[in-house]
Amino acid sequence: MFNNIFKTGIALFAFFFSTHIAFAQDPAFSQFYANPLYLNPAFAGTNDCPRANLNYRDQWPGIGRTYVTTSASWDQHFEAIGGGLGVLVSQDRAGLGNLNTSHASLLYSYRLKINNKFDMRAGFEASFRMIELDWTNLTFGDMIDPQYGFIYPTNEDIINNPTQRNFPDFSAGLLGYSENFFFGFATHHLTQPNQGFISESRLPTKITAHIGGNFPLSKYKNTVTTIAPNFVYQKQQDFQQFNYGIYVKRGPIVGGLWARNSLNNFDSFILMLGLVQESFKFGYSYDITVSNLKNSNTLGAHELSFTLFMPCRTKSKSFNTISCPQF
């Protein structure tokens, strides 16, 4: 029964997708800084040496793995071009694959060294996006019998409806950082491309602002304890989200606690645990739903991240590393 209800929801989403009143939101990761290129294109090359990231998010697994998002990225700083290059690919699956959104991006960030302690970067991202909708696996209102449920064939023209939308997309970002402090801004979907299947529906611009720091607290037997408070704000059309939290790192172990809310709703708490080594890092986080959805047995969200740090042939001279958290 629930699957039918969910499919109806996807059908309604597809309907709104094809009108002028679509309310589209990009998939969001809770481990923002474990997927830096996804957060802000200006992060490309901030590690100097090559870096590869893998990210996986399963949202609301209690209702059948209906929202699964994966991404992979690579980036590196190149002194010869004065900045960093990056590649990012991601896929978001909604409704057990009824609605798939994929994108592949090339990124460049220009590094501007202000002084020996402060750097800035301006980033640009060019993407190709593909949206696929399986109309044949949806249910519609005219299929419902008040007593027996979904038993009738639909009169919707699902055979001739388009099943795929392809379009270019562009984003930009700015980043400033020192040894203990950083801030950034990003604007995704600058041109608001048309994503409608039947009639025009523009993908709303997403605005991101983030700020934070990384401060040492104590040192015991060569093991430094650091604390990193952070804040991330995102707005896409009428939807606004506030994320604020803190990380504590002691040796190779990182723990984090975040809270997430919109203007009208407190959404979730996020617990994170990570391991950081010289050549890699691994993180796990769990979103604890505290909004009204907690009564729907969604089971929150699980997220995994893995980053591989690769050696450089030659490191850039006077390169300042960014002070943002590992996750």
C-alpha span between 290 and 284 (Å, rounded): 19
- At 109 the pLDDT is 97
Contact between residue 183 and residue 322 where contact means Cβ atoms under 8 Å apart: no
Q: Which H/E stretch holds residue 303? A: strand 301-309
CA–CA separation, 300 and 189 (whole Å): 28
Alpha helices of 174-288 — where are they, by DSSP H? none
- 112 contact partners, CB below 8 Å, separation of at least 6: 119, 120, 121, 122
Residue 24 is predicted with a pLDDT of 60
- The structure tokens 């699956």 sit at 93
Q: How far apart are CA 11 and CA 9, in angstroms?
A: 5
| Exposure string over 75-89, b if 16+ CB within 10 A, otherwise e | bbbeeeeebbbbebe
* pLDDT digit string, tens, across residues 102-114: 999 999 999 998 8
**For residue 63, what pLDDT is reported?**
73
**104 and 37 Cβ atoms separated by less than 8 Å:** no
User: What DSSP element (H or E) covers 272?
Assistant: strand 266-276
Residue 236: phi, psi to the nearest 5?
A: -140, 110
Supply angle C-alpha 139, 57, 47, rounded to 5.
140
Q: What is the model's pLDDT at position 14?
A: 39
Token couple for 146: 């008040």
> How many CB atoms lie under 10 A from the CB of residue 127?
21
Helix (H) or strand (E) holding 235: strand 223-236
Residue ranges, the chain, pLDDT below 50: 1-23
User: Number of helices (H) and strands (E), helices first, in the chain?
Assistant: 2, 17
Residue 113 and residue 157: Cα distance in Å, rounded? 57
Q: What CATH architecture is 2-309? A: Beta Barrel (2.40)
What is the pLDDT at residue 205? 96
Q: Where are the domains of the chain?
A: 2-309
Q: Write down the pLDDT at residue 317.
A: 63
Taking the C-alpha atoms of residue 268 and residue 256, their distance in angstroms, rounded to an integer, is 14
Give the model's pLDDT for residue 221: 61
Locus of tokens 């002691």: 250
Quote the tokens at residue 142: 């005219």
Spatial contact of 321 and 51, defined as CB atoms under 8 Å apart: no
